[in-house]
């Protein structure tokens, strides 16, 4: 009976997850493309990856973006949640406002930010120029283009913020009272009570953030076609897509996919390992 | 003050289910018995405890600091609201202004006239290089795919989650573990094999790759619903079965009515995912007439690097507004749903 109820997922799991994963592993050892039947070529695809400069560049871009956006978005989301958790007036209202940006569909988000970051008539540079700050060419300078994407990811951090807020509301008030008796001020309470108590939530969000930003696709695809300027925003999944559907090299693209999977697992493993020392679980 | 923190608790932990409905009272009564009701009561504001003390100067001092801190918090919140809302307001302003007021320095905040015609122009954009860009057709396509995905997702995920949460069978824990593990698989890994699979089915160029998989469940929604279903006392099912109800009747008549808030969350998540999906349509839709709104917007934008910003913003707004409307209708349930996903259960 249980299997009958679970049958949609058993079929879906086999057909749309297990089978594609296994066939992708198989394809990665072949010269598969839409046009021809796959031929076994051993580890050539993986060997080619080692000397593929574009692959190295996209990997570097993706890791740089992840290394910048995940910590920044995490810190920002925690600060926002702490601010909202001060039991201030209009908390529900502000929470809605902070959350709305993360709802905006990726393509619309890209178009909107192209307009805001526009070097000549963009709102951002208008504002920065007005208060005497530098007005960098956000979209056309390779040194700035990645930061453009980081700013957008920080802007859309509402999902994580809501999760942190729920975590903060679960911290027992008695712990803060105890810390106050010990003479702790705001910063002390944050470091010794808040952060340890929400550390499992931080771990969850950081892992989700790593998985998400490792596969960033739609936003750079819309904002920076071809990873322009100077391929500074050419990300891993864009290269994978181009190999599969522009260069007709689906076997090679599959190998890229498995490398992405392996790197994601490795980064998650590092996060978990790091967390085993620092994450505090209530009740063991 | 305190009421706020209580009412934002995630659902299923002894609080009234978020969506009010007929028969609600009886349901929440049932749930309260399982919930950890007590945990909410010890969350009093720290300041409450300070009152009633005899040292009035200390209270005065404390209160002034409290007022100052409140003012600082409010100022920060207002500043941040501007940071979050300004780009969206700018989108709205640009969408309703005439073209010659888009590229100006300083920017025009209040258009000289409200050009609503931008929306109809964007809906049926006709240019000599591109031909006709039928946003109305794209809207219909998107709605079609999204509705089917939502229906499929609610049906399949509730069945599967029920099986994982409330029926014992061999291999259940193993499959559930595998299900959680698959949440780690990055989407792009599946790009090539899924394309190959749908090509095998002859589905490339149709909407089927975009909605059929929803009828087979998704790991994330199964997890979400299972967490919720586990909070419903098992006695309810056992009572129904003593009355002679089959597993199916128990599911339909007893469990589903209690699961409504969680089903709304799954429906809204699926709606957002299907409405926002870009990679799926990019891979599987070949004919311009079958594009979805996201695809159409990207196509529209890529052909016009930067000229009719007012029309581009109007088109973007058409994509964004339905999402925000849905969010406002389901807001409470939805925010609690997101909060739940980050919690251990």
Q: Do B4 and A166 touch (CB under 8 A)?
A: no
Mean pLDDT of B45-74: 69
Q: What is the pLDDT of residue B36?
A: 41
Local structure of residue B216 (DSSP, 8 states):
G
Around A269, how many Cα atoms within 13 Å sit in the side-chain half-sphere? 6
> How do strand B124-127 and strand B131-134 relate by DSSP bridges?
antiparallel
Q: Do A27 and B91 touch (CB under 8 A)?
A: no
Q: Whole domain around residue A52: which residue ranges?
A: 24-278
How far away is chain A from the Cα of B338, in angstroms, using its nearest Cα?
6
Q: Return d(Cα B62, Cα B47) in angstroms, integer.
A: 9
Please report, for the domain that includes residue A240, its CATH number.
1.10.3720.10
A199, part of any domain: yes
Q: Is a pLDDT exceeding 70 seen at residue B110? A: yes
* Tens-digit pLDDT profile for residues B263-310: 998 999 999 999 999 999 999 999 888 999 999 888 888 876 556 888
When pLDDT is cut at 50, 70 and 90, the band that residue B149 belongs to is very high
Q: Is a pLDDT exceeding 60 seen at residue B48? A: no
Q: What is the pLDDT of residue A147?
A: 92
Torsional sign, CA B104, B123, B129, A233 = positive
When pLDDT is cut at 50, 70 and 90, the band that residue B9 belongs to is very low
Residues of A in contact with B8 (CB under 8 A): 92, 165-166, 169
A30, part of any domain: yes
When pLDDT is cut at 50, 70 and 90, the band that residue B129 belongs to is low
Q: What is the pLDDT of residue B193?
A: 94
Angle at A145 between CA B299 and CA A213, to 5 degrees: 80
A246, part of any domain: yes
Q: Return d(Cα B224, Cα B230) in angstroms, integer.
A: 10
When pLDDT is cut at 50, 70 and 90, the band that residue B53 belongs to is very low
A284, part of any domain: no
Cα dist. A86→A154, A194, A203, B43, B230 in Å? 22, 13, 23, 13, 32
CB pairs < 8 Å spanning A and B: 301
Q: What is the pLDDT of residue A19?
A: 94
Environment class of A11 (CB within 10 Å of its CB; exposed 0-12, middle 13-18, buried 19+): middle
Residues of A in contact with B212 (CB under 8 A): none
Q: Do A253 and B191 touch (CB under 8 A)?
A: yes
Residues of A in contact with B66 (CB under 8 A): none
Which residue has 């008549």 as its token pair?
A: B253
When pLDDT is cut at 50, 70 and 90, the band that residue B126 belongs to is low
Q: How many CB atoms lie within 10 A of CB A178?
A: 13
Cβ proximity of A149 and A238 under 8 Å: no
Q: What is the pLDDT of residue A250?
A: 93
Residues of A in contact with B156 (CB under 8 A): 8-9, 12
N-term to C-term CA, chain B:
27
Q: What does each of the 284 residues of chain A score in pLDDT, given as a tens digit? A: 788 899 999 999 999 999 999 999 999 999 888 777 888 998 999 999 999 999 999 999 999 999 999 999 999 999 999 999 887 788 888 988 999 998 999 999 999 998 898 877 788 888 888 888 888 888 888 889 999 999 999 998 888 998 898 889 888 889 988 998 888 888 888 888 999 999 988 998 999 999 999 999 999 999 998 888 889 999 999 999 999 999 989 999 999 999 999 999 999 999 988 888 778 776 54
Cβ proximity of B297 and B229 under 8 Å: no
Count of the separate structural domains present in chain A? 1
Cβ proximity of B313 and B155 under 8 Å: no
Among candidate residues B111, B42, B176, B31, the one with its CA nearest the CA of residue B310: B111
Q: Is a pLDDT exceeding 60 seen at residue B44? A: no
Q: Is a pLDDT exceeding 80 seen at residue B42? A: no
A216: which 2 tokens? 């960033």
Q: Mutate which of A99, A107, A200, A226 to disrupt the B interface (most B C-beta within 10 Å)?
A: A107
Domain over B134-341 is classified CATH 3.30.420.40: no
A18, part of any domain: no
The interface predicted TM-score of the complex, written ipTM, equals 0.88
Cα pseudo-dihedral B323, B327, B329, B330, rounded to 10: 130
Q: Return d(Cα A246, Cα A221) in angstroms, integer.
A: 14
User: Which long-range contacts link A29-32 to residues 24+ away (Cβ below 8 Å)?
Assistant: A29/A251, A29/A255, A30/A251, A31/A249, A31/A251, A32/A250, A32/A251, A32/A254, A32/B192, A32/B196
Residues of B in contact with A250 (CB under 8 A): 192, 195-196
Cβ proximity of A203 and A279 under 8 Å: yes
**Chain A, nearest residue to B157 by Cα:** A9
Among candidate residues B280, B295, B297, the one with its CA nearest the CA of residue B187: B280
Q: Do A115 and B312 touch (CB under 8 A)?
A: yes
Q: Where in chain B is the domain with CATH 1.10.3720.10?
A: 134-341
Q: How many CB atoms lie within 10 A of CB B29?
A: 10
Q: Is a pLDDT exceeding 50 seen at residue B3? A: no
A56, part of any domain: yes
Cβ proximity of B221 and B265 under 8 Å: no
Q: What is the pLDDT of residue A264?
A: 93
Torsional sign, CA B201, B206, B209, B212 = negative
- The alpha carbons of chain A give a radius of gyration, in whole angstroms, of 23
A122, part of any domain: yes
Q: Return d(Cα A32, Cα A254) in angstroms, integer.
A: 9
* Tens-digit pLDDT profile for residues B196-247: 999 999 999 999 999 999 999 999 899 989 988 988 888 888 899 899 889 8
Cα dist. A2→A79, A177, A266, B162, B173 in Å? 44, 48, 35, 9, 12
Q: Return d(Cα A84, Cα A75) in angstroms, integer.
A: 14
Q: Is a pLDDT exceeding 70 seen at residue B32? A: no
Q: What is the pLDDT of residue B302?
A: 81
Local structure of residue A171 (DSSP, 8 states):
S
When pLDDT is cut at 50, 70 and 90, the band that residue B128 belongs to is low
Q: What is the pLDDT of residue B28?
A: 40
């Amino acid at each position: 009976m249980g299997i009958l109820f679970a049958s949609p997922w058993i079929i879906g799991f086999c057909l749309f997850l297990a089978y594609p994963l296994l066939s992708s592993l198989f394809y990665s050892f072949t010269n598969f493309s839409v046009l021809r039947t796959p031929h076994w070529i051993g580890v050539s695809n993986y060997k080619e990856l080692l000397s593929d400069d574009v692959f190295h560049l996209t990997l570097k871009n993706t890791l740089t973006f992840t290394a910048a956006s995940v910590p920044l978005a995490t810190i920002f989301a925690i600060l926002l949640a702490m601010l909202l958790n001060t039991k201030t007036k209009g908390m529900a209202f502000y929470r809605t406002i902070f959350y709305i940006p993360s709802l905006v569909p990726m393509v619309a988000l890209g178009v909107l930010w192209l307009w805001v970051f526009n070097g000549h008539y963009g709102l951002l540079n208008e504002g920065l120029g007005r208060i005497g700050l530098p007005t960098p060419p956000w979209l056309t300078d390779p040194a700035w283009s990645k930061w453009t994407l980081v700013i957008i990811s920080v802007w859309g951090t509402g999902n994580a913020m809501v999760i942190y807020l729920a975590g903060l509301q679960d911290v027992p008030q008695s712990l803060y009272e105890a810390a106050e008796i010990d003479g702790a001020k705001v910063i002390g309470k944050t470091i010794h009570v808040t952060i340890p108590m929400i550390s499992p939530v931080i771990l969850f969000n950081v892992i989700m953030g790593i998985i998400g930003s490792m596969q960033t696709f739609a936003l750079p695809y819309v904002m920076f076609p071809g990873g322009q300027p100077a391929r500074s925003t050419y990300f891993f999944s864009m290269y994978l897509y181009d190999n599969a559907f522009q260069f007709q090299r689906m076997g090679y693209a599959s190998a890229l996919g498995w490398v992405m999977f392996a790197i994601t697992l490795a980064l998650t493993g590092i996060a978990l390992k790091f967390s085993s020392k620092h994450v505090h679980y209530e009740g063991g | 003050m305190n009421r706020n923190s209580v009412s934002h608790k995630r659902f299923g932990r002894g609080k009234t289910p978020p969506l009010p409905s007929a028969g609600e009272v009886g349901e929440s009564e049932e749930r309260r018995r399982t919930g950890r009701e007590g945990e909410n009561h010890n969350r009093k504001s720290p300041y409450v405890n300070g009152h009633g003390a005899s040292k009035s100067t200390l209270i005065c001092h404390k209160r002034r600091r409290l007022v100052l801190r409140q003012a600082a918090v409010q100022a920060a919140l207002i500043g941040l609201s501007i940071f979050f809302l300004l780009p969206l307001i700018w989108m709205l302003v640009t969408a309703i202004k005439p073209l010659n007021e888009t590229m100006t320095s300083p920017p025009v905040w209040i258009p000289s006239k409200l050009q609503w015609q931008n929306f109809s122009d964007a809906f049926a954009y006709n240019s000599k290089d591109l031909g006709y860009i039928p946003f109305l057709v794209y809207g219909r396509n998107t709605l079609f795919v999204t509705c089917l995905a939502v229906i499929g997702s609610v049906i399949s995920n509730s069945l599967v989650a029920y099986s994982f949460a409330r029926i014992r069978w061999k291999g259940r824990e193993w499959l559930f573990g595998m299900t959680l593990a698959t949440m780690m698989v990055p989407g792009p890994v599946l790009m090539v094999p899924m394309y190959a699979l749908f090509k095998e089915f002859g589905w490339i160029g149709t909407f089927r790759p975009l909605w059929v998989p929803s009828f087979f469940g998704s790991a994330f929604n199964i997890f979400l619903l299972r967490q919720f279903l586990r909070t419903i006392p098992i006695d309810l099912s056992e009572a129904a079965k003593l009355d002679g109800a089959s597993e199916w009747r128990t599911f339909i008549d007893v469990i589903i009515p209690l699961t409504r808030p969680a089903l709304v969350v799954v429906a809204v998540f699926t709606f957002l995912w299907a409405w926002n999906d870009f990679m799926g349509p990019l891979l599987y839709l070949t004919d311009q007439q079958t594009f979805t709104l996201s695809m159409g917007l990207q196509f529209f934008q890529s052909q016009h690097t930067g000229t009719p910003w007012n029309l581009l913003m109007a088109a973007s707004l058409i994509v964004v507004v339905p999402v925000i409307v849905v969010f406002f209708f389901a807001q409470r349930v939805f925010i609690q749903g997101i909060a739940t996903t980050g919690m251990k259960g």
